[in-house]
């Protein structure tokens, strides 16, 4: 088992460094952003208040006059001696899987870190169950909400439900050897992400409670998935905060080859970001391939060549240029091209901002431009974080490289930027450069990254599909 080396990532486009939040989303990861809660009452570090009612979870309260003021006391029923230990009581009604310190009313004595606890509401009613770790930034991770008594028998059933969605419902094995098996809160398993790559499971842990139970869960996952190898990753910051003690030993699995639709890739676990490959873009890569026959395509921020290879191999593009600042990623992309005996892709190791400006000066244009940068926004405060400005600027540059009437596909994996805001940033970048966009599609992560209704903020990936008008 090994730490994920955040400081080992190369500098990215425009001279900025990606720095995943400790609680970034468990998505490819993602990834690409894992477990960052965007609801306003969850921002404990900024002093925001918890919700006064369940109606505030995901929508405005239906009765605004009943909203609780910050200085109003919260009435909490005293704990009952009959409550089975360990238990945690919360002050506020919230179905969010993330419960922050200010939302807690009390706990039973001597709870062991990582314990599976029963959750009681402020009225003393059974409310759910989850993992508790007093030292964590998110001390309570709810995995179940309801009045029924839940034991740890919940977890084997949750693992089976998650695998069944991918293998029986979505039938992903028919088209790919790489997909997300467990998507943290999206599968009712907060703090756990698992990706499948052929016969390998790549497991990311964000919770001490999950870590303590891996020895029981991993054999069952192999049985359900038909896999036989695995590796486990824990971000060092998360390990420190959660109290996870990881032995830094050599991993037996370094790389694996997988098939996605008609394209083959090598996933390098030693050098790849997050779990090694971005499964969340699988359906978007396939959709791109239906649009690129005979076109000249530019893939900005290509990483290991996913969009570029799909456009060339499946999409029969006439010519593809793929750009990325990550030298190791470009080297891996070239290996992926060789694995497919693919010629006709120009791999360019450089900064996307610089490359785009140079090509604009040179008068270069493409029929189709794909822009898929790493996470640019790391804070809700635009004065502290210039990521939103980078989105606007980079999109404005990329749009200028599209021929009039050509295709522009823009992606954002920043969970702190919702779809509406991302769309505004892209439009602003277009209009500033005297272009208009004719949107014809909006997509997100592939369906193996499901979203629970009580955690809509985990819908992190946004993809806009448009034709570019103007610029003649």
Per residue in 438-453, pLDDT (tens digit) is 999 999 999 999 999 9
10 Å Cβ neighbour count for 409? 24
Q: Mean pLDDT over residues 321-331, rounded? A: 95
Asked if the model's pLDDT at residue 19 lies above 60, the reply is: no
* Residue 18's pLDDT band (cuts 50, 70, 90): very low
Residue 256: CB atoms within 10 A of its CB come to 20
Burial 287-310 (b: 16+ CB within 10 A, else e): bbbebbeebbbbbbbbbbbbbbbb
Q: Which residue has the higher pLDDT, 109 or 45?
A: 109
Dihedral pair phi/psi, residue 205, rounded to 5°: -115, 135
Q: Is a pLDDT exceeding 60 seen at residue 52?
A: no
Encode pLDDT of 401-426 as tens digits: 999 999 999 999 998 899 999 999 99
**pLDDT at residue 45 tops 60:** no
Single pTM value for the model: 0.82
Does residue 352 carry a pLDDT above 80? Answer: yes
The pLDDT, as a whole number, for residue 36 is 36
The answer to whether the 154-254 and 256-469 domains have the same CATH topology is no
Spatial contact of 180 and 193, defined as CB atoms under 8 Å apart: yes
Say yes or no to pLDDT of 369 above 70: yes
């694996």: which residue's tokens? 256
Summarize the chain as % helix, strand, coil (round to 5). Answer: 30, 25, 45
Looking at residue 275, what is its pLDDT?
A: 65
DSSP symbol at 311? I
Q: What is the mean pLDDT of residues 312-335?
A: 96
**What is residue 299's predicted lDDT score, i.e. its pLDDT?**
98
423: CB partners within 8 A, 6+ apart: 462, 464
252: confidence class by pLDDT, cuts 50, 70, 90: confident
| 93 contacts 106 by C-beta, under 8 angstroms | no
Percent of the chain residues topping a pLDDT of 90: 74
CA distance 227 to 216: 16
Q: Does domain 154-254 have CATH number 3.30.750.80?
A: yes
pLDDT at position 57 over 50: no
Alpha carbon of residue 407 to chain centroid: 25
Return the CATH superfamily for domain 256-469. Answer: Vaccinia Virus protein VP39 (3.40.50.150)
Q: Is pLDDT larger for residue 276 or for residue 227?
A: 227
Report the SS3 class of residue 242: helix
In whole angstroms, what is the distance from residue 466 CA to residue 463 CA?
10
The predicted-structure confidence for 382-403, as pLDDT tens digits, reads as follows 666 788 999 999 999 999 999 9
Across 72-86, 203-217, 299-313, least confident range? 72-86
Q: Which structure tokens are listed for 395?
A: 């999109």
Task: Answer whether 279's CB lies under 8 Å from 330's CB.
Answer: no
Contact by Cβ (8 Å): 431, 395 = no
Checking DSSP bridges between strand 436-443 and strand 462-469, what pairing results, if any? antiparallel
- Please tell me the predicted confidence (pLDDT) of residue 270: 84
Instruction: Note the pLDDT of residue 105.
Output: 95
205 and 211 in contact (C-beta within 8 Å)?
yes
Give the span between the Cα atoms of 453 and 455, in whole angstroms.
Answer: 6
Cβ partners under 8 Å of residue 96, min gap 6: 37, 39, 42, 57, 142, 454, 455
Q: Where are the domains of the chain?
A: 154-254, 256-469
Q: Band the pLDDT of 271: cuts 50, 70, 90.
A: confident
Residue 286 has pLDDT above 70, yes or no: yes
């Amino acid at each position: 088992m090994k730490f994920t080396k955040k400081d080992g990532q190369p500098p990215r486009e425009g001279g900025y460094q990606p720095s995943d939040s400790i609680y970034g989303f468990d998505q490819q990861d993602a990834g690409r952003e894992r477990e960052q809660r965007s609801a306003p009452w969850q921002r404990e570090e900024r002093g925001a208040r918890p919700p006064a009612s369940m109606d505030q979870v995901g929508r405005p309260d239906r009765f605004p006059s009943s909203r609780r003021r910050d200085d109003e006391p919260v009435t909490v029923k005293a704990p009952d001696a009959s409550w089975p230990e360990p238990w945690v009581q919360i002050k506020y009604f919230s179905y969010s899987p993330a419960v922050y310190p200010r939302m807690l009313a009390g706990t039973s004595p001597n709870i062991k870190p990582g314990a599976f606890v029963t959750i009681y509401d402020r009225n003393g009613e059974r409310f759910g169950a989850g993992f508790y770790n007093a030292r964590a930034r998110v001390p309570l991770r709810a995995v179940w909400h309801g009045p029924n008594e839940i034991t740890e028998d919940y977890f084997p059933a949750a693992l089976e439900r998650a695998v069944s969605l991918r293998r029986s419902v979505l039938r992903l094995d028919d088209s790919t050897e790489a997909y997300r098996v467990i998507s943290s809160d999206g599968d009712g398993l907060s703090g756990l992400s698992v990706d499948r790559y052929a016969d390998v499971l790549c497991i990311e842990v964000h919770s001490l409670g999950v870590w303590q139970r891996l020895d029981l869960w991993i054999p069952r996952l192999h049985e359900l998935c038909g896999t036989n190898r695995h590796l486990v990753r824990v971000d060092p910051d998360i390990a420190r905060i959660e109290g996870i003690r990881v032995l830094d030993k050599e991993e037996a699995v370094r790389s694996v080859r997988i098939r996605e639709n008609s394209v083959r890739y090598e996933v390098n676990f030693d050098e790849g970001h997050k779990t090694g490959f971005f499964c969340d873009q699988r359906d978007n890569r396939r959709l791109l391939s239906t649009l690129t026959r005979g076109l000249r395509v530019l893939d900005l921020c290509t990483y290991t060549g996913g969009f570029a290879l799909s456009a060339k191999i499946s999409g029969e593009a006439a010519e593809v240029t793929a750009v990325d600042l990550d030298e190791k990623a470009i080297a891996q992309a070239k290996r992926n091209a060789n694995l497919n005996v693919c010629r006709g892709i120009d791999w360019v190791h450089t900064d996307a901002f610089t490359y785009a400006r140079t090509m604009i000066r040179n008068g270069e244009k493409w029929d189709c431009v794909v822009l898929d940068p790493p996470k640019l926004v790391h804070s809700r405060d635009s004065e502290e974080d210039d990521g939103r400005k980078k989105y606007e600027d980079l999109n404005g540059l990329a749009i200028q490289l599209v021929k009039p009437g050509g295709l522009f596909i823009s992606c954002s994996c920043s969970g702190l930027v919702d779809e509406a805001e991302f769309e505004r940033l892209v439009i602003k970048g277009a209009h500033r450069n005297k272009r208009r966009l004719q949107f014809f599609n909006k997509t997100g992560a592939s369906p193996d990254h499901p979203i629970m209704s009580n955690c809509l903020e985990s819908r992190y990936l946004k993809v806009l599909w448009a034709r570019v008008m103007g610029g003649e």
